[in-house]
Every structure is written in structure tokens, then in C-alpha cells.
Amino acid sequence: MKERENRNNDKLRSLFQKIELEQPSSSFESKLMQRIQQEALKREQKANHWYNITFLLCCAAFIGTAIFVYFYYNITWTSISDVFQNTFQTIYSIVTKNAKMTSIFITIFILLVIDIIIRTRMSRKERNGQ
């Protein structure tokens, strides 16, 4: 039995040694890369499609909530303008009284926005391979 297996193994080895591995043609490689890129593009477009749908649903929920509150509480335009006026007066009084703290918070906010912008640009460059 072992002798027969050894002969079969020897035959297989000799057959594999006779086979020369060929490099795939350049057209095959380019076609394969094009298919991969097309598939990646399709997946990205599908993901973007879902992001857009989610964004629209969030906007509709926000607007729907505003409309519900407007009609449920019988809000009039004068009460809305009074609320905005009171809000702006409150913010103005806080800003003028605490100018040092306000400038610190604004500086931190600006730094965070700059950080987000830089990180997104860096991640885009990494994805693009630059």
C-alpha cells in the first residue's frame, strides 16, 4: 500500500514540476483592477444613498416636531419673536458680563472645528493614496 502511495506521490510531484507557472497578462490585471474599482464605487454609492435617506428622514423628523409643537401649543408669531428676543438678550448679557470666559469658549470651539477639518482632510488623503 505504501509503495503504491509513494508512486502516486512521485507521479504528482513530477507533474507539478513540469508545469510552468505563467504570469497573468497585463490586460487580465487591468480588467481585474477595473472590476474591483467598479465594485468599490458601487458600494460607496450605496452607502452614500443610505446616508442621504437618513439625512432626509432626520430633517423631516425635525420639521415635523416643530410643526407639532407649533400647533399643539397654539404658538403665535408674536410669541416666537418674544422668545427669540428674550433669548438674544440673555445671551448678550451673559457675553458682556463674562467676556473672558466667553472668549475662552469661543477659542476652544474654533480650535475644535479646525481640528475636525484637518482630520477629515488627512483621512481623505489617506483614502486617495496621496
Please, which pLDDT band fits residue 56 given cuts at 50, 70 and 90?
Answer: very high
- For 2-130, where are the alpha helices, taking DSSP H only? 2-18, 26-72, 77-97, 99-128
Domain of 49? 26-75
- What is the rounded CA–CA span in Å between residue 50 and residue 60? 15
- Rounded to the nearest 10°, the torsion over CA 94, 82, 63, 113 is -20
User: What pLDDT digit, counting tens, does each position of 88-112 carry?
Assistant: 888 788 778 877 888 888 899 999 9
Q: How many CA atoms are closer than 13 Å to the CA of 49, on its beta-carbon side?
A: 6
Q: Are residues 31 and 68 in the same domain?
A: yes
pLDDT at 21 over 80: no
- What is the rounded CA–CA span in Å between residue 22 and residue 25? 9
Q: Are residues 68 and 114 in the same domain?
A: no
- Is the distance from CB of 102 to CB of 95 less than 8 angstroms? yes
Q: Are residues 59 and 104 in the same domain?
A: no
Structural domain tally of the chain? 2
- Tally of CB atoms within 10 A around 128: 7
Q: What percentage of the chain reaches a pLDDT higher than 90?
A: 17
Q: Are residues 66 and 34 in the same domain?
A: yes
Is 127 within the bounds of a domain? yes
Q: Are residues 109 and 99 in the same domain?
A: yes
Q: Are residues 84 and 70 in the same domain?
A: no
Enter the pTM of the model.
Answer: 0.37
